[in-house]
Amino acid sequence: MTAETVKYEHPPSSSRSSPIPVPPLIETPTADKSVQLAKLIRESFAAVETKSEELSQYFYGALFAVSPDARALFPINMATQRNRLLRALVYVVQMVDRPDELATFLGQLGRDHRKFDVLGRHYDAVGVALIAALKRFLKDDWTPEVEDAWVTAYGVISKSMREAAGKEVGPAWWKATVIEHRVVSRDVAIVKVRTDQPLPYRAGGYVSVEVPQRPRMWRYFSPATAPHDDGTMEFHVHAVRGGWVSRAIVHHTRFGDVWRLGPSLGALSVNHTESRPLLMIGGGTGVAPLLALLDDMSRWKNNPPVHLFFGGRRPEDLYALDELRGLTVTCPWLTVTPVTEEGAVTGGDRGTLATAVTQRGAWKERDVYVAGSPSMIRATIAKLLAAGTDLGRIKYDPFTLD
Ligand SMILES: Cc1cc2nc3c(=O)[nH]c(=O)nc-3n(C[C@H](O)[C@H](O)[C@H](O)COP(=O)(O)OP(=O)(O)OC[C@H]3O[C@@H](n4cnc5c(N)ncnc54)[C@H](O)[C@@H]3O)c2cc1C
Ligand code: HEM
């Protein structure tokens, strides 16, 4: 693999390739109608899920036939992407009955999609390709009701994204230069970058990243630091097995590499006036957004008690433990418990994070923050609910698609 630095022309802050017009006459469905639509969408998609590989190939074929210029928006080797757009699209469309959760996310996603140079007509083309692919694979199950459900849901969702993108006047992406790269464990690196102009974000959120070693393969990473005046931010990256981007970052990043960062997304945040004690649960590099929250909180005068469980399979996976223990010295409101599945750590618990946390109770008096891989988040939330924790108190990013 080459590690050459790709030079990007930085867009002026108000530039867009063209406005993203919003089609008229798309009405937001009522709550009852949304529930019906979501049911029809889930049921109909379940019938073709086993054929998702062929469906996806047909979808991309149709998309690039309808809109040949859309091909340039995607990575050169589509096979490496494992149907990212189609999977994401279906996942989001199925959530049409959860408008409150979707509203903020779709606004963020629409603004974020400006980094791909997506135009209004691409949204139409994606809609046409999606419907054509579903119709072909659903065959007799493609009824007028099912068609109406998909067309309405896609219309509502794409309208929200287009509206948000159309209103945004900030940069579509920020240039960030790597100023430090440290491999801190077998497969984790800490990378510090400096953006050329301030990238507004909230501690606890995440941004989309493109690195020069993997052009057009954007991935989400959570800054592990709160926003700093000097424009620096730190990312903690775990090289996943067979991972295209994460392995390139951990093993091939060079000082001076120029990254592109998308606008910030995410909903994890701590309310400054919140006085409830907090429970934070971070698995592996999932601890990054929690570190950013702690970095932010360490600047406040008063903080609620925070108990952070930091988990990994083995002791060497707890790459941020020294930093966290250092923080407990300067932040007396912070308690840190390391958790490992194999091998012991002094003062730590053994087992999965979910077990370690719930064996100490339901933490009913705390607001709970969970961050990590989708499977770790699912397992931890399931155990917390079974232990009696109130779902309304559990905060996590529900859109953690890989
Ligand atoms: C909101 C959000 C925030 C994130 N923040 C961080 C972060 O701060 N640090 C970080 O290291 N990663 C983070 N990720 C994960 C990151 O975006 C990538 O998914 C991950 O780096 C894998 O990308 P890849 O190109 O290397 O793997 P791909 O080439 O896309 O996938 C290769 C293989 O790895 C599997 N895989 C994909 N993602 C994961 C994963 N997360 N864990 C285990 N296996 C996986 C795939 O199923 C596939 O089999 C975050 C993801 C989301 C959605
Ligand atoms: C309702 C409409 C849409 C939804 C809900 C949606 C959602 C998503 C999500 C969640 C991702 C994964 C996150 C990411 O990589 O940033 C993604 C990726 C992507 N989307 Fe969209 N998207 C929509 C429309 C479009 C349109 C119209 C285009 C333009 C053709 C587009 C182009 C892309 C591209 C290029 C990627 C990266 C995929 C890859 O790397 O293979 N999306 N989309």
The tens digit of pLDDT for each residue in 221-237 reads: 999 999 999 999 999 99
Query: How many Cα neighbours within 13 Å face the side chain of 315?
Result: 8
Is the beta carbon of 402 within 6 A of some atom in ligand 1? yes
Categorize the per-residue pLDDT at 24 as very low, low, confident or very high, splitting at 50, 70 and 90: low
Q: What per-residue confidence (pLDDT) applies to 272?
A: 73
pLDDT band with cut points at 50, 70 and 90 for residue 340: very high
Those residues with Cβ within 8 angstroms of residue 32's Cβ, 6 or more apart along the chain or in another chain: none
With cut-offs at 50, 70 and 90, classify the pLDDT of residue 1. Answer: very low
Q: Please, is 299 exposed, middle or buried when counting C-beta atoms within 10 Å of its C-beta (0-12, 13-18, 19+)?
A: exposed
Q: What is the pLDDT, as a whole number, of residue 287?
A: 96
74 CB within 6 A, ligand 2: yes
Is the pLDDT higher at 49 or at 369? 369
- Cα of 128 vs its chain's centroid, Å: 26
Q: Which residues contact 228 (CB under 8 A, 6 or more apart)?
A: none
pLDDT of 280 reads 97
Q: Which of 261, 377, 402 to mutate to test the pocket of ligand 1 (most atoms within 8 A of CB)?
A: 402
293 has a pLDDT exceeding 90: yes
**Where in the chain are all domains bearing CATH 3.40.50.80?**
278-395
| Per-residue pLDDT at 303 | 92
Name the strand (E) or helix (H) holding 191. Answer: strand 188-195
pLDDT tens, position by position, 109-123: 999 999 999 999 999
**8-state DSSP, 276:** S
Query: Average pLDDT, stretch 257-282?
Result: 89
Is 373 close to ligand 1, i.e. is its CB under 6 Å away? yes
Question: What separation in Å is there between the alpha carbon of 374 and the centre of ligand 1?
Answer: 10
Q: Where in the chain is the domain with CATH 2.40.30.10?
A: 174-261
Q: Give the residue, out of 85, 96, 159, with the most ligand 2 atoms within 8 A of its beta carbon, to mutate for a pocket test.
A: 85
Which one of the ligands is nearest to 267 CA?
Answer: 1
Could you tell me the two tokens for 324? 């966290």
Query: 85 C-alpha vs ligand 2 centroid, how far in Å?
Result: 5
> Above 80 in pLDDT, residue 189?
yes
| pLDDT reported for residue 17 | 45
Of the listed ligands, the closest to the CA of 159 is: 2
Question: Which of the two residues, 7 and 142, has the higher pLDDT score?
Answer: 142
Mean pLDDT of 342-359: 94
Confidence band, pLDDT 50/70/90 cuts, at residue 100: confident
- What would be the CATH architecture of the domain defined by 278-395? 3-Layer(aba) Sandwich (3.40)
288 lines ligand 1 (CB under 6 A): yes
Q: Is the CB of 59 under 6 A from ligand 2?
A: no
- Say what the pLDDT of residue 7 is: 39
Q: How far apart are CA 54 and CA 255, in angstroms?
A: 41
For residue 298, give every residue at least 6 positions away whose Cβ sits within 8 Å of its Cβ, in sequence order, or none: 327, 330, 331
Which pLDDT band, with edges at 50, 70 and 90, does 181 fall under? very high
- Tens of pLDDT, residues 242-260: 999 999 999 999 999 999 9
153 C-beta closer than 6 A to ligand 2: no
Domain boundaries 31-167, corresponding CATH code: 1.10.490.10
| Integer angstrom CA distances of residue 398 from 61, 105, 254, 309, 386 | 30, 10, 33, 20, 19
| Span 386-397, average pLDDT | 90
The CATH topology of domain 174-261 is Elongation Factor Tu (Ef-tu); domain 3 (2.40.30)
